[in-house]
Structure 1
Amino acid sequence: MRKQNNKPGLLQPEAQPPRPHHWKPEKSAASWVKRDIETQNIVRVMAGFVISAVIIAALYFGQDVLIPLALAILLAFLLEPLVSRLKKWGLPQLPSIAIVMIFTISVLAGLGSYLGFQLKDLSQELPQYQDTIQQKLNTVKSLTSGPSAWDGAKTTFDTVESSFEGINQVEQEKGVQNVKVVGLEQSPSDAAMEWGSKILSPIATIGIVFLFVVLILISRKDLHDRLLRLLGGNLNIGTDVLDEAGQRIGTYLRMQLLVNVTYGIPMAAGLWFIGVPAAIMWGMLAVVLRFVPYVGPIISAVFPLTLAFAVDPGWNMFLWTLGLILLLELISNNIIEPWLYGESTGLTTLSIILAATFWTLIWGPIGLILSTPLTACLLVLSHYIPALGFVKVLIGSAPVLSPPERFYQRLVADEVHDALDVANAYIQQELPKKTNEEALVRKINNFYDEVAIPAICLFSQVHNTEASAEHRLRMHQGLKRFNHEFQQQYPLQTELNNPKVMCLGARWEVDVLASAMLAHGLNLKKIAACSHADALIQSRSDVLSAVPESTDIICITIFHQQPMAQIRLLNHRIRTLKPQIKLVFALLGNQSTHLRDEIERLFQPEAVVNSVNELMLNMDMLLMAQGENPAAALMHDNEAERLQALHELDLLQSELLPIYSQYIEEARQAFDVKYAQISLVDAGQVHTPASPLAEAVESPIHAAQRREESICTHLVYQNEALVIEDIQRDPRFRQYPHLARQKIRFYAGVPIQSKQGLAIGSLCILDKQVRQMSEEDLDLLKALALDLQETLSSERLRKQKLEEILRLGQPDLSQAVVTDS
C-alpha cells in the first residue's frame, strides 16, 4: 500500500478505482475533430462520384436533345463574329442574323449540291475502272503467292481449319443439322417507312440545330446573363469564365477552319495536277472531315488514294497521291497547326485523346467532333471553381509545378541533366531573337533569383523534417554538379583578375553552393568575384585568410530562418580581422522586412539583401566611383537613331494633351494607383506631359524631369517592362529627390516604342505604398501602351493628311477630315 503524502500545502490525489483490463483512454477533442474531417472528406469524395455518375447518365440518355444543342452552340460561336460585324456596320440585330443564316445555309446547300453531282458523275465512271482494279489485285496476289517466311504458319492454320471442318461433317452425319431462322419478309410500306426515318431523322436534326442557332444568336445577351447567375453572385468571375470560354472555343474553331482550308486547297490543286478525278470534291471533303479528330484525316485520305489506285493502270498516280497527302500532313501538323493554334485550347495531347474517347463512347461520332470544345469549356471552369481544381491538373497544358519546384524535384531525383533543361528553358523563354550579352546575363541572374534560390529555400525548409538522408545527399551532390555544368555552359567571356567581391557561405553547404551562384552571376556582370568551397562557421580551415588582398566587399549568404546569431558572430569576426572591408548580408532564406531593418540598425552593414537582383544592384552602387550617377551611362549605340525617331513623331504638341490625359486617367483608375505617367526620354531630359509629378512645369505638355533622375531612363535603356515593388530597397532610385518628396514607393512601367521597335518613352504607374504586379496586370499595362502607340500613330497620319490637303488646296476640307477619321 502506498504511503500518503501528508506534507502541508500539497493537494492529495483522489483515490481512483482500479481500471479494467479492457480500459482505453478517452479520445481527445482534437482526435474527434480529425476523425470528423476525414469522414467529411470521404463523404465529399463519394458525393463527387455519385454526381459524376448522374451527369454521365444524363449525357448518355439525353443525347437526342443535348447533341443538337451542343452543335448549335458550336455553330453559334462561329457565326457570332459575323453578326457582330454587321451590327457594327449599322444593321439591326434581326436583319444581321437573317443575312448570316441565309448566307450559311446557302453555302452549305451549294456545297452539298456540288458534292452530290460529283458523286453521281463518279459513280457512273467507276464501272470503267473494274479491269484496272482486277489487274492490280492480280499483280498484288502474284507477288504474295510465292514462298515466304509465313508459309509454315499458313500450313498449320489450314490443317487446323480442315480438322474442324471434318468434325462438323461427322456431326452432320450423326444427325446434327444447322437450323437457320428465317423471319417474315418486310413489306414495301415498312421498308419505305424505315428508309424515310433514316432520311428524315438527319434532316430533322439539322433543322433543330439551325433553330437553336437562331434562338441563341437572338437571345445571346439574355443567355449570357442567365449563365452568369448560374455561376454564382460574383459577376467579375462569371464574366471572366464566359469570356475565356468563348475566346478559347471561338479561337479554336476559327483556327481549325483555317487549318483545314490551308490543307484542303493545296490538296485539291495537287490532286487536279496529278489527274485524280473529282479533285475539288476531295479537297472540300478534306476541309469538312478534318473537323473530326484523328479519324477525319484518315477518311479524307482513303478516298483519293482508292480512286488513284483504281484509275491508273500503273502505280504512278497512287504513289504521287500518297506523297502529296504525306507532305501536306507533315506541313499541317508540324508548321501550320503549331503556328495557328498556339495555346488556344490549353489542353494536353493526352487529355485530347482521352476526351475524344470519352465523348465518342457517350455520343458517338458527333461526340468525337465536340470533344475538344466541350473539354476546353470544362478546363475553363476548373480555373475558377475550386471544386474542379483537379480537372486543371489532369487535363491542362500549363505546368502543375512551378519552375522552382521542378528544379528542386529534378535535383532530388538525381536528374541533373533535367535540372539543366529546366534552367535553359527558363533562360531562353522570352529572350529576344537578337539576344545581346547584357540581356542574357540579366536572364541568367533572373534564373538564380526566381528558380534556383527559391528551390534551395524549399530544400532548407524541409531539411530536418521531410527530407531523408538520401534526399539530402542527392541535393548536395546535384547542386555541385549543376553549378559545375551550368557555369561551363555559360562561361565568362573575358577573364577577370583581382576579385573585388568575395562570396562566402555562412554555416552549411547550401550556403556555400548558393554563394558560388552569386559569384558566377557577378562575374557575368563584369564584376570580378570569387567564392570559397568551405563555410565560415564550423569549418576546419580559416576561410577569411583566403580572402584576396584586392577584395573590397564580402558577401555572406545565409539560408537560416533565424540568422541573427550567425550574423552577430560573423560581423564581430570580420570587423575584427578585416575592418576595412565592406560587408553585405544576403538573407536568401528569410524575406522579413523587420529582420532586415533590425540587422541594419544593430550591425550597420553596407547592405542587407533578400534577392539576387537586389544584390547585383547594390554591388553596382558600392563599386561605383564616388559621385558617379548610374543613369549617365545608360545609352545604347543606336541612341542617335532613337532620338531621331522620337523627334520625327513630334509628340510634344498641345493637340495631344487630351490623349495623354485620357490614358493617364485610364491607367490610374484601372490599377487603382495614386499616379500614372507618360514619359518621353529625350537627350537631356524626360518629358512627362500632363503629369502631376513633373519637377519644372512650363505648361502641361512641356512638363519635364532630369534624365539622370528618372526611372524611365533605365526602362528605355532595357527596352522591356520594369517593376520596382519597393523603391526604398532599390539603391538606384531611393535617393531620387522628387520620388522622396512625393513618397513614391512603387513603380511599374512598360516601353512606348516606335515602328522600328525603339523605345522612345514609357507608360508607368506609381504609388505611395509597396505593391506587387501580377503577370495579368503587366499584360494589361502593355496592352494599354500598345493602344496608346496606335492612337498616336493614327493622330500623326491624320495630321499629315490634313497638312497635305491644306498644301494642295482641297476645297472640301471637312469632308476630307471625316473620311480620314
Structure 2
Amino acid sequence: MVGIFLLLLTAAVAEARDFLMPVVLALLLSLVFRPVRRGMNRAGAGDGVAALVICTGLVLAVTALVMLLAQPVSTWVEDAPRIAWRIEQRLASLEGTVEAVTRAAEQLDNLAEGAEDSARASAATQGAEVAVEVRQGGGILAQVAAAAPLLLGQAVFTLVLLFFLLASGDMFYQRIVEVTPRLGDKKRALAIARDIERRLARYLFTITLVNAGLGVAVGLAMWAIGMPDPLMFGVAAFLLNYIPYVGAIAGTVLATAIGIVALPELWLAFAAGAAYFALTSLEGQVVTPYFVGRSLKLNTVVVFLSVAFWAWMWSVVGMIIAVPVLVVVRVFSEHIPAMSSVGRFLAANDAPPPENPSAAA
C-alpha cells in the first residue's frame, strides 16, 4: 500500500505541475523575502504595505531585466542554428590544423586540388543546410510564443499568491496552534514549522545574495575577456547557480560555445569557459559553505539524484526546488525520531549530528 501510494503521489505531482509549480515558487519566494518583510515591520510598515512594496519591487526588477536582456537573448536564439554551424566549422578548422602538422608535405601537395574542390562542395552543402535551419530557427521563438500565455498566467498567479503569503504575517503559526489538539503536538508542530522557515529562509536568502555576487563577478570577467553582452552572462550565472552542479556546467558550456563564435581566438573562448568555471567553483567550495553553514550541508550524491529526479518531474523549476525539498525532509528527520536515520543519510560527511529540539523540549 505504501508503494502504491508513493507511485500515485509521484504521478499526481507530475500531472499537476502547471498548478503546483507557481505555488511552490511563491512559497520559496515568500521565504526569501520574509527577512525583508520583518525588517520593514520593525521600521513601522504593516504586513500589507511591506508585501506590496516587495511585490512591486520584484515586478520592476524583473521588468527591467527583461527589457535589458530581450534584445541580446532574442538575437542569440534566432542565430542558434548559424552559431552551431560556425562552432562546428571553427572546431573543424582546428582539427584540420592539427592533422596538417602530422601529414607530409608531399601528401598535402598531391591532395591540395581535390581537397579544395571537396571543401567548396562541403561548404556549399553546409551553407544550404544552415540556410534551411535559419529559416526553421523561428521554431524556438514560436514555441516560446505559444507557451507565453501559460507562463504569463503562472507568473501572475505566483505574484498574487506571494503577496497574500507575505501580507498574512504569522497567521500560519496561529492556525497550527488552533488546529493541533494536544500541547505536546502543538510544540512539535511549531518547532518543525519554525525550523523549516528559519533554515529555508536562511538558505534561500543567502544563496540569492551569493548568486547576485557571482553574477556580478561573471559579468565583469566576461567583459574583461571581451565577450559580447556581459550583462546576459551575469544574469545567466545568477539564475543558473540556483541549480546545483548542472547550472555551473551549463554556464561553462554556454560561455565557451558563445566565445568560440564571438571571440577572434579559440584560446579566449576556452579562457571564458575556464573563468566561468573557476568563479562558480570558488563560490561552491568556499563562499557558499562559509555563509550557509555546516548544518545545511547535504550528501552530494543525494543532491545530484534529487536534482535529476525533480528535473524529470518539473523541468527547470524542479531543479531549483530540489535542494529546498531536501532541507525540509532533513528538518522533519531531526524532529521525528523515527526519521533520524533518513536525516543522517541526507547529511554530508562533515555535517554535525542532527539536533532534536522537540525531544529537548
Please indicate, yes or no, whether the TM-score normalized by the shorter chain is above 0.5: yes
Instruction: State the AA in 2 paired with 1:396.
Output: A
Counterpart of 2:264 in 1: which secondary structure? coil
> What's the offset of the Cα at 1:244?
0.9
Within the candidate set 27, 41, 52, 1:87 is matched to 41
What is the aligned partner in structure 1 of residue 133 from structure 2? Answer: none
Indicate how the Cα distance of structure 1 residues 71 and 139 shifts in structure 2: closer, same or farther if over 3 A, else same. Answer: same
Alpha-carbon separation, structure 2, partners of 1:346 and 1:327: 21
Unaligned 5+ residue runs, structure 2? 103-141
Within the candidate set 199, 202, 222, 2:171 is matched to 222
Residue 383 of structure 1 contacts residue 392 of structure 1 at CA under 8 Å; is this kept in 2? Answer: yes
What is the aligned partner in structure 1 of residue 58 from structure 2? Answer: 104
Alpha-carbon separation, structure 2, partners of 1:272 and 1:321: 10
Bigger Rg, structure 1 or 2: 1
Residue 132 of structure 1 contacts residue 313 of structure 1 at CA under 8 Å; is this kept in 2? Answer: no
Indicate how the Cα distance of structure 1 residues 127 and 200 shifts in structure 2: closer, same or farther if over 3 A, else same. Answer: closer
What is the aligned partner in structure 1 of residue 30 from structure 2? Answer: 76
Alpha-carbon separation, structure 2, partners of 1:346 and 1:127: 41
Alpha-carbon separation, structure 2, partners of 1:280 and 1:255: 22
Instruction: State the AA in 2 paired with 1:368.
Output: M
Q: Does 1:67 align with 2:21?
A: yes
Q: How many residues align?
A: 317
Please give the TM-score of this superposition, normalised by the length of structure 2: 0.76
Counterpart of 1:77 in 2: which secondary structure? helix
Within the candidate set 195, 198, 204, 2:147 is matched to 198
> What's the offset of the Cα at 1:111?
0.8
Residue 192 of structure 2 contacts residue 332 of structure 2 at CA under 8 Å; is this kept in 1? Answer: yes
What is the aligned partner in structure 2 of residue 334 from structure 1? Answer: 285
Within the candidate set 238, 252, 260, 2:189 is matched to 238
> What's the offset of the Cα at 1:344?
4.8
Residue 83 of structure 2 contacts residue 261 of structure 2 at CA under 8 Å; is this kept in 1? Answer: yes
Residue 87 of structure 1 contacts residue 93 of structure 1 at CA under 8 Å; is this kept in 2? Answer: yes
> What's the offset of the Cα at 1:335?
1.7
Instruction: State the AA in 2 paired with 1:225.
Output: Q
Counterpart of 2:298 in 1: which secondary structure? coil
> What's the offset of the Cα at 1:130?
9.9
Within the candidate set 234, 246, 250, 1:295 is matched to 246
> What's the offset of the Cα at 1:252?
1.1
Instruction: State the AA in 2 paired with 1:199.
Output: A
> What's the offset of the Cα at 1:394?
2.7
Can you list the C-alpha shifts for 1:262-310, whole angstroms capped at 9, x where unaligned? 3221211111111111112211211111112222222222232222211
Instruction: State the AA in 1 paired with 2:25.
Output: L
Residue 67 of structure 1 contacts residue 366 of structure 1 at CA under 8 Å; is this kept in 2? Answer: yes
> What's the offset of the Cα at 1:134?
7.1
**1:304-703 alignment runs, 5 A limit:** 304-397=255-348
Alpha-carbon separation, structure 2, partners of 1:125 and 1:194: 16
> What's the offset of the Cα at 1:126?
9.1
Indicate how the Cα distance of structure 1 residues 51 and 61 shifts in structure 2: closer, same or farther if over 3 A, else same. Answer: same
> What's the offset of the Cα at 1:255?
2.0
Residue 34 of structure 2 contacts residue 201 of structure 2 at CA under 8 Å; is this kept in 1? Answer: no
Indicate how the Cα distance of structure 1 residues 141 and 51 shifts in structure 2: closer, same or farther if over 3 A, else same. Answer: same
Alpha-carbon separation, structure 2, partners of 1:91 and 1:278: 39
Alpha-carbon separation, structure 2, partners of 1:287 and 1:114: 15
What is the aligned partner in structure 1 of residue 3 from structure 2? Answer: 49
> What's the offset of the Cα at 1:110?
0.5
Q: Does 1:259 align with 2:210?
A: yes
What is the aligned partner in structure 1 of residue 120 from structure 2? Answer: none
Residue 30 of structure 2 contacts residue 166 of structure 2 at CA under 8 Å; is this kept in 1? Answer: yes
Higher normalized helix content (fraction of residues)? 2
> What's the offset of the Cα at 1:120?
4.7
Indicate how the Cα distance of structure 1 residues 244 and 260 shifts in structure 2: closer, same or farther if over 3 A, else same. Answer: same
Residue 35 of structure 2 contacts residue 201 of structure 2 at CA under 8 Å; is this kept in 1? Answer: no
Counterpart of 1:364 in 2: which secondary structure? helix
Indicate how the Cα distance of structure 1 residues 81 and 276 shifts in structure 2: closer, same or farther if over 3 A, else same. Answer: same
Can you list the C-alpha shifts for 1:642-684, whole angstroms capped at 9, x where unaligned? xxxxxxxxxxxxxxxxxxxxxxxxxxxxxxxxxxxxxxxxxxx
Can you list the C-alpha shifts for 1:320-347, whole angstroms capped at 9, x where unaligned? 3133223313322322122122225252
Q: Does 1:136 align with 2:87?
A: no
Measured on the aligned residues, the alpha-carbon RMSD in Å equals 3.6
Residue 69 of structure 2 contacts residue 232 of structure 2 at CA under 8 Å; is this kept in 1? Answer: yes
Alpha-carbon separation, structure 1, partners of 2:259 and 2:188: 55
Residue 255 of structure 2 contacts residue 276 of structure 2 at CA under 8 Å; is this kept in 1? Answer: no
> What's the offset of the Cα at 1:53?
3.5
> What's the offset of the Cα at 1:119?
2.8
> What's the offset of the Cα at 1:135?
6.0
Alpha-carbon separation, structure 2, partners of 1:143 and 1:302: 23
Alpha-carbon separation, structure 1, partners of 2:352 and 2:288: 27
Residue 248 of structure 1 contacts residue 344 of structure 1 at CA under 8 Å; is this kept in 2? Answer: no
Indicate how the Cα distance of structure 1 residues 271 and 211 shifts in structure 2: closer, same or farther if over 3 A, else same. Answer: same
Instruction: State the AA in 1 paired with 2:291.
Output: L
Can you list the C-alpha shifts for 1:477-509, whole angstroms capped at 9, x where unaligned? xxxxxxxxxxxxxxxxxxxxxxxxxxxxxxxxx
Counterpart of 1:363 in 2: which secondary structure? helix
What is the aligned partner in structure 2 of residue 249 from structure 1? Answer: 200
Alpha-carbon separation, structure 1, partners of 2:78 and 2:158: 34
Residue 136 of structure 1 contacts residue 313 of structure 1 at CA under 8 Å; is this kept in 2? Answer: no
Indicate how the Cα distance of structure 1 residues 775 and 212 shifts in structure 2: closer, same or farther if over 3 A, else same. Answer: closer
Counterpart of 2:294 in 1: which secondary structure? coil
Indicate how the Cα distance of structure 1 residues 198 and 91 shifts in structure 2: closer, same or farther if over 3 A, else same. Answer: same
Counterpart of 1:313 in 2: which secondary structure? coil
Instruction: State the AA in 2 paired with 1:252.
Output: Y
Residue 219 of structure 2 contacts residue 230 of structure 2 at CA under 8 Å; is this kept in 1? Answer: yes
What is the aligned partner in structure 1 of residue 111 from structure 2? Answer: none
Instruction: State the AA in 1 paired with 2:90.
Output: K
Unaligned 5+ residue runs, structure 1? 1-46, 149-192, 403-773, 777-821
Larger deviation, residues 208-217 vs 359-368: 359-368
Residue 33 of structure 2 contacts residue 205 of structure 2 at CA under 8 Å; is this kept in 1? Answer: no
Indicate how the Cα distance of structure 1 residues 366 and 316 shifts in structure 2: closer, same or farther if over 3 A, else same. Answer: same
Within the candidate set 147, 153, 161, 1:212 is matched to 161
Indicate how the Cα distance of structure 1 residues 129 and 119 shifts in structure 2: closer, same or farther if over 3 A, else same. Answer: same
Instruction: State the AA in 2 paired with 1:297.
Output: A
> What's the offset of the Cα at 1:132?
7.2
Instruction: State the AA in 1 paired with 2:49.
Output: P
Indicate how the Cα distance of structure 1 residues 109 and 295 shifts in structure 2: closer, same or farther if over 3 A, else same. Answer: same
Residue 249 of structure 1 contacts residue 345 of structure 1 at CA under 8 Å; is this kept in 2? Answer: no
> What's the offset of the Cα at 1:203?
0.8
Counterpart of 1:55 in 2: which secondary structure? helix
Instruction: State the AA in 2 paired with 1:311.
Output: A
Instruction: State the AA in 2 paired with 1:112.
Output: V
